[in-house]
Amino acid sequence: MKKIIIVEDNKDVQEAFQLLIETQTSNYEVVNAYGTCEDAINNLEVDLPDIVLMDIDLPGMNGIEGTRNIRQTLPRTDILIISVHENSQYVFDALCAGATGYITKNSNHTQLLRALDEVSAGGAPMSTQIAKLVVKSFRRESESPLTNRETDVLNLLAEGKSYMDIADQISVSKDTVKFHIKNIYLKLQVSNKIEAVTKAKSEGFI
């Protein structure tokens, strides 16, 4: 029987996960549940979990940093992120920190239990949307003609930001933003913002 700890500051969610695991499967035992990473880390050598269910938004140390710390202490422990976030940056930060898988909190009970089984079998479960983000990002890294900064600028353009808004957000001058946009148009062989955003989305660059 695999031992699980839950790191989730919402008591209702914490109890729901525990109830689901304990009543719907005999393969896992929830040995403890914590509201902070600090508490979980302090008890790792007592709990010795095989799997950690980890939220990201936590008081004090966040789940990504908590994942990194747990992996350093117990490198064979699998960490499954369960978060409301579907932002690619959160996903990659979590995976780079050592998370085994990443699913969203809107996943149903069956998907959560399947994810635990996948982790136990040596897999790396991800929600459908998260998997799409990963594939899209790898495609962008391998094929996009844009630099990281140009990609940031184009993403902000796609959100409807003005040149001045973009300049403020990435801490550069308005002229620098214009320079990046000019390069984006040249590289994508387009002549305006709408064409640039449309082509970049269709090609998977943003």
Question: Rounded mean pLDDT of 139-146?
Answer: 68
Tokens 């914590």: give the residue. 34
Task: Check: CB of residue 95 under 8 Å from CB of residue 102.
Answer: yes
Per-residue pLDDT of 46-58, as tens digits, reads 999 999 999 999 9
Q: Domain boundaries in the chain?
A: 2-136, 144-203
Task: Check: CB of residue 50 under 8 Å from CB of residue 73.
Answer: no
Per-residue pLDDT of 93-106, as tens digits, reads 888 899 999 998 88
Banded pLDDT at 139 (limits 50, 70, 90): low
Topology annotation, domain 2-136: Rossmann fold (3.40.50)
pLDDT score, position 43: 97
Distance CA 53, CA 59 (A): 16
CATH of the structural domain 144-203, one choice from 1.10.10.10, 3.40.50.720, 3.30.470.30, 2.40.50.140:
1.10.10.10
Question: Rounded mean pLDDT of 147-151?
Answer: 89
